[in-house]
Structure 1
Amino acid sequence: MSALICVARIGAAHGVRGAVKLWTFTEDPFAVKRYGPLLSKDGKRQFELAQAREAKDHLVATFKGVTTRDEAQRLNGIELYVAREKLPATDEDEYYHADLIGLAAITTAGDALGRVLAVHNFGAGDIIEIAPLKGATMLLPFTNAVVPEVDIAGGRVVIELPQEIEGDKDGDEDLSPSRAGESRDP
């Protein structure tokens, strides 16, 4: 089986006729209707979308065979997946997170850093997580400046490690514990 990509998550029941709130992770929220049956993470369960309509920040959807609120509520939290090859091709400089996970991470000098562990978005842009060969996990902005090259066919991403920002030693304030909480006013 090819890689499965998460395209949606079922939320709470909506109404009494088997509808659910559906959060989609696709550029076009209604794209989930075009992929055919959606799968559970393990690929063992299939869900066929019967109807979907737009709500405030999600869709309200019904699945074939789900007709009661109780049946709908049992689906709450299930993530829905499709096979990678069913997804449209990406534009240049666009990537599916699943295509990046596991790629080798190297520096612009060619030194091995580790592997791409995940790509996150906490609301301020994508963050690439690197599991290094040694040391702590690195979270870096997934920007062209920090990740100037993504070579999926070659199995690697190139990382320009940001330089440490050092404060001006002469202008640094003394923030030692003994001064914490003291007023700076005369």
Structure 2
Amino acid sequence: MKQYLEIGKIVNVHGLRGDVKVVPWCDEPEFLCEFDTLYLGKAQKPVSVTAARLQKGNVLLHLEGVDTVEAAEQLRNQVLYMDRDEVELEEGVYFIQDLIGLEVLDADTGKSYGKLSDVMQTGANDVYEIKDETGKTVLIPAIPDVVQETDLDGGVMRIRPLEGLFDAD
């Protein structure tokens, strides 16, 4: 599992004091406002967040040492990362990054359905895309009736599919 996870992208400068506008890549933009330290770019250089606020679904950040429009402009298109150790997730909540690649097994028979290849956030519940070895994809709802166990350490997810979900065409 990656130590640093992508959490958003700096897309613009805001105001005259060097604030940056960030498009959040997390479930709720408020989550991004909770961090005192984020990590900038591929080098994942630590940067202190001195102020954070929401604006129309985006986040405006003031980063320590970035006090001019010119300095903020240098950060445009940089990806921000978070350290997974700075977040405690509730039981049954996972980072999408950790779910991608899990082998999906039948909870009753152990049959492999393929690997979890994508997570779509639909609002009511997430939808998992499972891709088998032939490249065929099947979508399953991420609900307790279907997902029986998620074992990140073991690299598997056990499901009990809804009737007809994996039937041949």
Does the alignment reach a TM-score above 0.5?
A: yes
Q: Which amino acid aligns with 1:81?
A: Y
SS at match of 2:110: coil
Equivalent residue, structure 1, for 2:99: 100
Equivalent residue, structure 1, for 2:53: 53
| Aligned residues of 1:15 and 1:69 also touching (Cα < 8 A) | yes
Q: Structure 1: how far apart are the matches of 2:159 and 2:147?
A: 5
Q: Is 1:72 aligned to 2:75, yes or no?
A: no
| Aligned residues of 1:48 and 1:64 also touching (Cα < 8 A) | yes
* CA shift for structure 1 position 87: 1.9
Q: Which amino acid aligns with 2:73?
A: Q
Equivalent residue, structure 1, for 2:17: 17
SS at match of 1:32: coil
Q: Structure 1: how far apart are the matches of 2:27 and 2:126?
A: 15
| Aligned residues of 1:150 and 1:157 also touching (Cα < 8 A) | yes
Equivalent residue, structure 1, for 2:40: 39
Q: Structure 2: how far apart are the matches of 1:138 and 1:79?
A: 31
SS at match of 1:148: strand
What fraction of aligned residue pairs are identical, expressed as a percent? Answer: 29
Q: Structure 2: how far apart are the matches of 1:68 and 1:103?
A: 44
Give the CA RMSD over aligned residues. 2.7
SS at match of 1:31: coil
Gaps of 5+ in 1: 166-186
After the TM superposition, which residues 1-186 of structure 1 pair with which residues of structure 2 at under 5 Å, given as runs? 2-24=2-24, 25=26, 28-29=30-31, 30-33=33-36, 36-40=37-41, 42-88=42-88, 90-108=89-107, 109-164=109-164
* CA shift for structure 1 position 119: 1.9
Q: Which amino acid aligns with 1:121?
A: Q
Q: Structure 1: how far apart are the matches of 2:123 and 2:71?
A: 33
CA, structure 1 residues 122+70, in 2 after alignment: closer, same or farther (shift >3 Å)?
Answer: farther
Q: Structure 2: how far apart are the matches of 1:53 and 1:20?
A: 11
Higher mean alpha-carbon deviation, 127-136 vs 116-125, is at 116-125
| Aligned residues of 2:38 and 2:81 also touching (Cα < 8 A) | no
Gaps of 5+ in 2: none
Q: Which amino acid aligns with 2:148?
A: P
| Aligned residues of 2:149 and 2:159 also touching (Cα < 8 A) | yes
| Aligned residues of 2:38 and 2:80 also touching (Cα < 8 A) | no
* CA shift for structure 1 position 122: 4.3
* CA shift for structure 1 position 136: 1.5
Question: Normalized against structure 1, the TM-score is what?
Answer: 0.71
| Aligned residues of 1:7 and 1:32 also touching (Cα < 8 A) | no
Which one has a bigger Cα radius of gyration?
1
Aligned residue pair count: 161
Q: Structure 1: how far apart are the matches of 2:112 and 2:147?
A: 14
Q: Structure 1: how far apart are the matches of 2:164 and 2:2?
A: 40
CA, structure 1 residues 160+74, in 2 after alignment: closer, same or farther (shift >3 Å)?
Answer: farther
CA, structure 1 residues 106+164, in 2 after alignment: closer, same or farther (shift >3 Å)?
Answer: same
* CA shift for structure 1 position 96: 1.8
| Aligned residues of 2:40 and 2:78 also touching (Cα < 8 A) | no
Question: Normalized against structure 2, the TM-score is what?
Answer: 0.76
